[in-house]
Structure 1
Amino acid sequence: MTTSTPENRLRSALEALSGHSPLVHCITNTVVQQITADVLLAIGAAPAMVDHAQEAPVFAAAADALLVNTGTVAEGQVQAMPAAARAARDAGRPWVLDPVAVGSLPVRTPLAHELLTLGPAAVRGNASEIAALAGTGGGGRGVDSTDTVEAVLDAARDLSARTGAVVAVSGERDAIVSAGRTTVLTSGDALLARVIGTGCALGATCAALLGSSRDTDLTPHDAVLAAHALHGAAGTLAARGAQGVGSFAVGWLDALDTLTPADVLELVGLQEQAAPA
């Protein structure tokens, strides 16, 4: 059995990833497909980008986990996303919703709300995206958040309670929220926000950790927390030797490839918050 401390559960989730090499099916935006695949390979997972409406549900039912990212919503993806999510749910495969730029945009916003009804194991977004999904905000400035993580914690808790999903809010400090549990993670570096695809690839890493821990006693909260810790720790380490955003991007990918679970724990801070009364 996994011991009870958050640190030990995080370590166990990262160890499960290294021992499993999960196949992660990504329906993601066209801007970040390569960096997402590179990140999955760096952490020891196997990426696949299958977004044809007929093929996506077949592949989703066979993969270890699925990512649905609404960053680009071409017509074929709009059809493939709910079909794949439904197939993953019916096959017992965890899937992650990354509601990129939801709020006022007329295609992705109702699509994301439809996807919420299909049983995601986790929802990962910035504070404005989470507020928009929860019905307490109108979205951010494109893909950038105009809200703070702390300001949307109640909305994240409500969204988790309504959907049963772990809700992860990314920002200067990340918050991972599930039934009766909120974990605040301190990690990373400001340069992460200046490299394309780091957030979107985080959604894929959440899927990888969920897929690799599916047959363990770890919870989805543990898996999503571990994904955020791994990305943040890699950002902290990469920033130490970076001369700018280019060298940081390469160093971040290298760190994802080389960090051990013990390294990650040394580079992040965890704070468990008591459930609201």
Structure 2
Amino acid sequence: MQIREKLSANLSLVKEKSPLIHHITNYVTVNDCANIVLAIGGSPVMADDLEEVEEMVGFASALVINIGTLNSRTIESMLSAGLKAKELGVPVILDPVGVGATKLRTNTAARLIQALKPEVIRGNMSEIKVLAGLEVAIKGVDSLADEQDGSVVAKTLASELDSIIAITGKTDVVSDGKQVCLLDNGHQILADVTGTGCMTTSLVGTYCGVTKDYFSAAVAGITSMGLAGEIAHAALRHGEGIGTFRTRLFDSIYNLTPELLAREGKIRYE
């Protein structure tokens, strides 16, 4: 099955099965992540208390871990839920938000990767380069790294960690260590709305909840967000800005069809 057929099939399965996606995520974007999962056809749950995360992940089809607003309590919940997920065969998707900005983030990301061996890691260029041990500049949780050598970095790190590595930016890069896929959907305005990266990770997690082909799931999640961004931006009228765009982004995800995703996805192999 070709990649476009896989994307179409993945979205059809999401809408058919409505997979439960367990999130331990950050409080800045938690509502948006829940709503984007609902919009694509999944079912979100945002449970982070240590007393219930293991039980909750037992019901889930995927676990999304996002370190955007770390604290000592949720770190332990992430590890507990992640270990239970691995025991149950539930895929773990990691978003290492702001890794490299502080020692806590960097050490926590390393700890989670070592303990959980996530099926997919999605981050911006700075975040992924930090995980790869490269020197990069970072501003808070924003990337300052250029996209040069993104394919090499993704492929090398994917092979080293035995994970799917997804880098989002002007051109998105997805690699499983053997193949590299470049994705060209999207619009610059996505960077002006808080949480679009987190929401993309949630979409990737939703697709991971319906297939064991985590490479195609990552491509599907990133392409869905990029294509929805294009559609939402094209619908803006004179005088409308990021507030209207944000609303239309959710609408575009909600109205996304398997046929549209397969046809309009700008996907190429390197």
TM-score tier by shorter-chain length is: over 0.9
Work out whether residues 149 and 170 of structure 1, in 8 Å CA contact, stay in contact via their aligned partners in 2. Answer: no
Cα distance between partner residues in 1 of 2:148 and 2:10: 26
| Aligned match of 2:149 | 151
Map of 1:9 onto structure 2: 6
- Counterpart of 1:228 in structure 2 is 222
User: Deviation string for 1:43-66 (max 9, x for gaps)?
Assistant: 111111111122112212321100
| 8 Å contact kept, 2:99–2:130 | yes
Deviation at 1:138, TM superposition (A): 4.2
Distance in 1, matches of 2:121 and 2:147, equals 14
Residue 54 in structure 1 maps to residue 48 in structure 2 = no
RMSD: 1.3
Map 1:82-121 onto structure 2 (within 5 A): 82-117=79-114, 118-121=116-119
1:256 to 225, 238, 253: 253
**CA–CA distance in structure 2, aligned partners of residues 82 and 211 of structure 1:** 19
In structure 2, the partner of 1:68 is 65
CA contact (8 A) 1:10 1:223 kept: yes
Residue 188 of structure 1 deviates from its aligned partner by 1.1
User: Which residue, out of 21, 25, 34, partners 1:24?
Assistant: 21
1:49-98 alpha-carbon deviations (Å, 9 max, x no partner): 11112211221232110000000112211111111111111110001000
Identity of aligned pairs, percent?
31
1:165 alignment counterpart: 163
How far does the alpha carbon of each residue in 1:95-124 deviate from its partner, in whole angstroms, 9 at most, with x for none?
A: 100000001412121110111121211000
Distance 1:22 1:174 in 2: 25
Amino acid corresponding to residue 22 of structure 2 in structure 1: H
Match of 1:240 in 2: 234
Please report the TM-score for the alignment, with normalisation by the length of structure 1: 0.92
Change (3 A) 1:248 1:33: same
2:127 equivalent in structure 1: 129
Worse-matched range after superposition: 140-149 or 95-104: 140-149
3-state SS of paired residue (2:228)? helix
Report SS of the residue matched to 2:69.
Answer: coil
Count of aligned positions: 266
Q: Distance in 2 between matches of 1:124 and 1:38?
A: 19
Question: Aligned-pair distance for 1:265?
Answer: 2.8
- TM-score, structure 2 normalization: 0.95
Correspondence for 2:264 among 254, 258, 267: 267
Q: Contact 1:100–1:143 at 8 Å: present in 2 too?
A: yes
Return the letter of the residue paired with 2:109.
Answer: A
Unaligned segments of structure 1, at least 5 residues: none
Tell me if the contact between 1:236 and 1:267 (Cα under 8 Å) persists in the aligned partners. no
Runs of 4+ in 1 over 6 A off after TM superposition: none
Give SS of 1:150's match.
coil
- The 1:54–1:264 alpha-carbon spacing in structure 2 relative to 1, beyond 3 Å, is same
CA shift, 1:150, in A, is 3.5
Residue pair 2:99, 2:106 contacting (<8 A) in 1 also = yes
Query: Structure 2 unaligned runs (5+)?
Result: none
